[in-house]
Amino acid sequence: MEKTMLAAVLHDFDDLRLDHVPLPQVRSHDDVIVRIKSCGFCATDYKAIKGIRRNVTFPAILGHEPSGIVAEVGPGVRHFQPGDHVIVQPSGYCGYCPHCRVGNTHYCQHAFTTGGDGPEDVWPGAFAEYMLTKECCLFHKPAGVSFHAAAITEPLSGAWKGLIQYSQMQPGDDVVIIGVGGIGLLCMLVAKAAGAGRLIAVDSSEYALDNARALGATGTVNPARQDAKEAVYALIPDGPDLVVEAAGPIAAVKLMTDLRRRGTKWNVFGITTHETFELDGGLTHFLEGRMDASFGTTPLAMAKAIRLMETGLVDTEKIISHRIPLEKIHEAVEIMASPERNKIVVNVLDAT
């Protein structure tokens, strides 16, 4: 009899079912099967379930922020063995195409993703008891980092990549984060660890702003209750050195461009929908700022995120608001629709 496992399978938009599906099998020399302990619930997972994003092939097993234990390895795997505690990067890469050769593995011409989106080649994800991946996607989990915290590595790595590698934030920079949900709070924690001067959180949710204050924001602004630009400049009279849009709506991008002064760096980080905004060409020219954007992750960013957690510079446990068993994943979907939540972690197995 074929062995099966429990998985949350998306059969169609708004049709998520708990099914028993065949266990994944090692198919290639560098394959690894991971027994999932925890998996972060990303907004892109929610958008797929609800049909807000349509690039989904059914049936699909979502979940691309996992931590777990190596269960089985292919004959060519050299650096991991069954029983190892691991963190999984969702984006797989070939290592040989021109993009991979220069370190941009998230541009890989032969990329695959486990439970996420972006590449055409999508493998079953981690809202399941087991998941198939490749050795190149694995990182050893530090002993002092819980499986719950480790499941936040991928979004933390994205925050590091956007703020530090791309926007080149410097110690003492005055930083504004627009949108302080899960990913915005991670951006804030990275900025704080990197020595931000004044750290301003902007959000229309008082729940989110309360969390931001608790985690180190030096000032908060609610654009639903006050003129956001006036409020930011009251807190930072000379204007921000860096503005990060981590919210998603086009209104947040427009606010970001409005907050610029000469030399401001700005990062289009949160928006993934194809919407437009206008720039005054001459003003943009003479402001002489720099626009960056960042998506996905790389082995470098993952390694840096793990170092941040291992050394205690960033505690990702602090942004987890809900821990939901896989068997109750429909509750997680409902909570994702609520404004009063931060990061949800789906606990496939006991993940202390």
Q: What is the CATH number of the domain that holds 263?
A: 3.40.50.720
- CATH number of residue 56's parent domain: 3.90.180.10
The answer to whether the beta carbons of residues 257 and 279 sit under 8 Å apart is yes
Report CA 190 to chain centroid distance, whole Å. Answer: 13
Q: Please list, in sequence order, all residues whose beta carbon lies within 8 angstroms of the beta carbon of residue 252, skipping any fewer than 6 positions away.
A: 178, 179, 245, 270, 271
Give pLDDT, residue 1: 63
Give pLDDT, residue 339: 86
Q: Are residues 151 and 189 in the same domain?
A: no
Domain count, the chain: 2
Q: Are residues 226 and 188 in the same domain?
A: yes
Q: Are residues 119 and 229 in the same domain?
A: no
Give pLDDT, residue 286: 97
Q: Are residues 184 and 259 in the same domain?
A: yes
Residue 275 clears pLDDT 60, i.e. is over it: yes
The predicted-structure confidence for 126-140, as pLDDT tens digits, reads as follows 999 999 999 999 999
**Residues 132, 72: Cα–Cα separation, whole Å:** 9
The predicted-structure confidence for 280-308, as pLDDT tens digits, reads as follows 999 999 999 999 999 999 999 999 999 99
Residues spanned by the domain of 234 = 168-293
Residue 351 clears pLDDT 90, i.e. is over it: no
The predicted-structure confidence for 142-178, as pLDDT tens digits, reads as follows 999 999 999 999 999 999 999 999 999 999 999 999 9
Let me know the angle formed at the C-alpha of 87 by 150 and 338, rounded to the nearest 5 degrees. 45
Average pLDDT over residues 188-217: 98
Give pLDDT, residue 273: 83
Strands 31-41 and 130-134: antiparallel
Residue type, 261: R
Q: Are residues 182 and 141 in the same domain?
A: no
Structure tokens at 282: 């001459």
Q: What is the DSSP letter of 247?
A: S
pLDDT tier at 309, thresholds 50, 70, 90? very high
Average pLDDT over residues 240-249: 96
What torsion do the CA atoms of 145, 176, 178, 190 make, to the nearest 10 degrees?
-10
The predicted-structure confidence for 34-87, as pLDDT tens digits, reads as follows 999 999 999 999 999 999 999 999 999 999 999 999 999 999 999 999 999 999
pLDDT tier at 272, thresholds 50, 70, 90? confident
Total number of residues shown for the chain:
352
Residue 352 inside a domain? The answer is no
